[in-house]
Structure 1
């Protein structure tokens, strides 16, 4: 899926780009509103991340140009007051995230919005593992790994939130669809099986008193 990042702070734009590419998205950056408009005119995008305070053409004006295309938009801006958020949403933005923000939160919002529009990343990759979201198969170094339904769902949740500490109660309720009652044995046993089947002891970390985090091995 193709994502356009329109952000005049090149460091922020490139940081977003690097992290989205790592998630399997194709990204391009525009550092002012005019360049953003040129990209939008020439190429179709699945999602646009749009700063408000841009040189040449500001984000509000650019949004007016984007709306007829039906492309989902997330505003990224330092303007965090309620009035600005309301204005952006009323003009047609689908979501709004305020600087400074955690990259993990931005990625989660991107994924949520793409799902809402029926645009799903068909494959996820992390380290030596590839996840096919359509066939619900997992392969490690090209060899299929047999996972249960819950193990697959848990793996996807970890990969989609890599480098983020996930609370046990959140994980349990998301994967099992039940209220977490404090018993961690079911979740913990699934985590142990995932570690063993994927040989991911160095990737799936236990976070003391919180839960688990998927991170690059040292």
Structure 2
């Protein structure tokens, strides 16, 4: 199982992240300051470190110098949002940089992207009668391959990774099409209709009034 070290001194934010990771199926460990984090990294192997910058004892930049030679992926999570701060973090070897406040869906998407880059993500995802092989990008339903377009596949992947959560149209569009949402949801709505038809998921991919869509599954 993927295990992520959360290094964050604000307990409310740490608890929010922990709940998100549990929902996404990630195991996690927690350190409230840089010294605790360094001690944990010394005795345990992590798949990724989520690292605040302004920490007691040892700050995030100093800890990054210790982590970088170990080859562990790092995402900086911080209130320091200036361009110079971002550039400094990325030049030190961080794989991504997220500025507080943030949406948990965005954090999970960024974590997933970094893990895939390191071939550490989950390769098989399950939702109801569908299995997604993220390595081969194949979608199987009851033993039969379902042929999807690239955008249909990415949309399904995001829905499955966030199953049972109401997702805003804006979030879905920006994560799948990687473009700013202008308010026109026709492209997204059309792809949702196609997914419902191809998977016979009319009762699973539901419209949420004034929000967007939710994939409702029990497994």
TM-score (normalizing by structure 2) = 0.76
The offset of 1:183, in angstroms, is 6.3
Partner secondary structure for residue 46 of structure 2: coil
Matches of 1:99 and 1:185 in 2, distance apart?
Answer: 30
* Equivalent in the alignment of 2:88: 87
Q: Tell me: CA distance 1:188–1:97, structure 2 relative to 1, closer, same or farther (3 Å).
A: closer
* Equivalent in the alignment of 1:193: 197
* Equivalent in the alignment of 1:11: 12
> More deviation in 66-75 or 6-15?
6-15
Match for 1:165 among 168, 176, 190? 168
Q: Verify the 8 A CA contact 2:65 2:92 in the aligned structure 1.
A: yes
Matches of 1:196 and 1:158 in 2, distance apart?
Answer: 15
Matches of 1:192 and 1:80 in 2, distance apart?
Answer: 40
Q: Aligned-residue CA RMSD in angstroms? A: 3.3
Q: Verify the 8 A CA contact 2:34 2:58 in the aligned structure 1.
A: yes
Matches of 1:120 and 1:86 in 2, distance apart?
Answer: 26
Matches of 2:216 and 2:56 in 1, distance apart?
Answer: 37
Q: Verify the 8 A CA contact 1:155 1:194 in the aligned structure 2.
A: no
Matches of 1:24 and 1:62 in 2, distance apart?
Answer: 27
Q: Tell me: CA distance 1:30–1:148, structure 2 relative to 1, closer, same or farther (3 Å).
A: same
* Equivalent in the alignment of 2:147: 149
* Equivalent in the alignment of 2:181: none
* Equivalent in the alignment of 1:98: 99
Gaps of 5+ in 1: 175-179
* Equivalent in the alignment of 1:49: 50
Matches of 1:69 and 1:195 in 2, distance apart?
Answer: 43
* Equivalent in the alignment of 1:108: 109
TM-score (normalizing by structure 1) = 0.76
The offset of 1:215, in angstroms, is 5.6
* Equivalent in the alignment of 1:177: none
Partner secondary structure for residue 149 of structure 1: coil
Q: Verify the 8 A CA contact 2:146 2:198 in the aligned structure 1.
A: no
The offset of 1:10, in angstroms, is 1.7
Partner secondary structure for residue 85 of structure 2: helix
